[in-house]
Amino acid sequence: MAILLPGGAGYIGSHTAIELLEAGKEIVIIDNFSNSNPRVLESIKKITGKDFKFYEIDYMHKEKLQKVFEENTIESVINFAGFKAVGESVQKPIEYYRNNISGALVLLDTMRKYGCKKFIFSSSATVYGEPERIPLTEDCKTGGTTNPYGTTKLFIEQILKDIYTSDNTWDICILRYFNPVGAHKSGRIGEEPQGIPNNLMPYIVRVASGQLKELSIFGDDYDTPDGTGVRDYIHVVDLAKGHLKALEKINKEGKGLYIYNLGTGTGYSVLDMVKAFEKTTGKKVNYKIAPRRLGDIATCYADPKKAKEELGWEATKTLEDMCQDSWNYMANQEYLT
């Protein structure tokens, strides 16, 4: 009995694969390396000392996906496959809707065909749009997403709710990630954005390493304590552990559709992040204040109470861990190449 991880070579997928293997689970990874590196698979094996099956396929390819279900007994699926660059999604909406939504439909249809109905989905705090209130609870209104990437998350959540309504023998868990940062403590796997990063932490590490000249802080006139945007940064290993708890939940309780925020419940501003990074790593992060970025909101952080009460999960890593581990991964790149 194996857990299938589409997109398991990616940033969050690979960290979750490690946690699953270390918990003694059997996994099967499928990935087409559209935004990941084959080297990651070797790193997962080295870190855990465990082996797993891998298929280099696109999860949208129905026949190839069916073969995976034919050759393995898949008991549950955690779907990490999906495009995730906000800016790119505005330029390529068709690609985003096709890959994320059609891909999810092919996957869900195939699961149904093979009688596999346990599904965990990587959603995002982006589904809340402009927050109804802070901290965000799972029952806050969703919608008003500002880009196709965010809209794919919103639509897939709706699709999952409709599937559950039509057939309540599914076990579905929707995990709304806040802002994942950091890397595995080994320094062997981490986030590898292609080209110039859009997200804050990958940008900070590249400024600290000298690859990029300076960070542009997008706006210092928000209604926040220091005027810069506030977010709920969560260590990727904490996030990965949340998937194990979600899996336990659907295996134990069964038959339900559950939604959880995976965040720390603490908001940090862009300036807080810069200062914490400098203090933790001793590296300087040059920055300038720039205009606001279109589509950004002032403040976004989770109320993580529901996940704590119902999953027994809470984030344990500190802001220092997030900064140090992000930096270690960057500093380790030379050794990895």
Q: Contact 315/235 with Cβ under 8 angstroms?
A: yes
If one asks whether residue 270 binds ligand UD1 (CB under 6 A), the answer comes out as yes
Minimum gap (Å) between residue 297 Cβ and ligand UD1? 7
Q: In whole angstroms, what is the distance from residue 176 CA to residue 184 CA?
A: 21
Instruction: Give the residue nearest to ligand UD1 (CB).
Output: 229
Q: Which stretch binds ligand UD1 (CB under 6 A): 45-53, 72-80, 196-204, 310-318?
A: 196-204
- Residue 182's alpha-carbon distances to 5, 38, 83, 100, in angstroms, are 21, 20, 20, 24
If one asks whether residue 217 binds ligand UD1 (CB under 6 A), the answer comes out as yes
The residue within the footprint of ligand UD1, chosen from 10, 129, 148, 150 (CB under 6 A), is 150
Minimum gap (Å) between residue 159 Cβ and ligand UD1? 18
Both tokens of 183, joined, read 């890397």
If one asks whether residue 198 binds ligand UD1 (CB under 6 A), the answer comes out as yes
Q: In this structure, which amino acid lies at residue 225? A: P
- CB neighbour list of residue 253: distance below 8 Å, 6 or more residues apart: 171
If one asks whether residue 231 binds ligand UD1 (CB under 6 A), the answer comes out as yes
- Residue 71's alpha-carbon distances to 4, 45, 116, 271, in angstroms, are 12, 21, 14, 50
The residue within the footprint of ligand UD1, chosen from 107, 111, 207, 215 (CB under 6 A), is 215
Looking only at the bridges linking them, the beta strands covering 230-231 and 268-269 are antiparallel
- Residue 307's alpha-carbon distances to 120, 212, 312, in angstroms, are 14, 37, 7
The residue within the footprint of ligand UD1, chosen from 33, 114, 155, 218 (CB under 6 A), is 218
Nearer to ligand UD1, 48 or 266 (CB): 266
Residues of this chain, 21-80, that bind ligand UD1 according to CB under 6 A: none
Q: In whole angstroms, what is the distance from residue 324 CA to residue 222 CA?
A: 28
Both tokens of 176, joined, read 């709304």
Q: Report the residue count for the chain.
A: 337
Nearer to ligand UD1, 32 or 179 (CB): 179
The residue within the footprint of ligand UD1, chosen from 203, 258, 301, 313 (CB under 6 A), is 203
Nearer to ligand UD1, 137 or 198 (CB): 198
Q: Which uninterrupted H or E stretch holds 121?
A: strand 118-124
If one asks whether residue 129 binds ligand UD1 (CB under 6 A), the answer comes out as no
Nearer to ligand UD1, 28 or 262 (CB): 262
Return the SS3 of 215: strand
Q: In whole angstroms, what is the distance from residue 308 CA to residue 32 CA?
A: 34
Q: Which stretch binds ligand UD1 (CB under 6 A): 51-59, 95-103, 289-297, 322-330?
A: 289-297
Nearer to ligand UD1, 68 or 242 (CB): 242
Minimum gap (Å) between residue 151 Cβ and ligand UD1? 10
Contacting positions for ligand UD1 (CB under 6 A): 86, 124, 126, 146, 150, 179-180, 198-200, 203, 215-218, 229, 231, 270, 293, 295-296
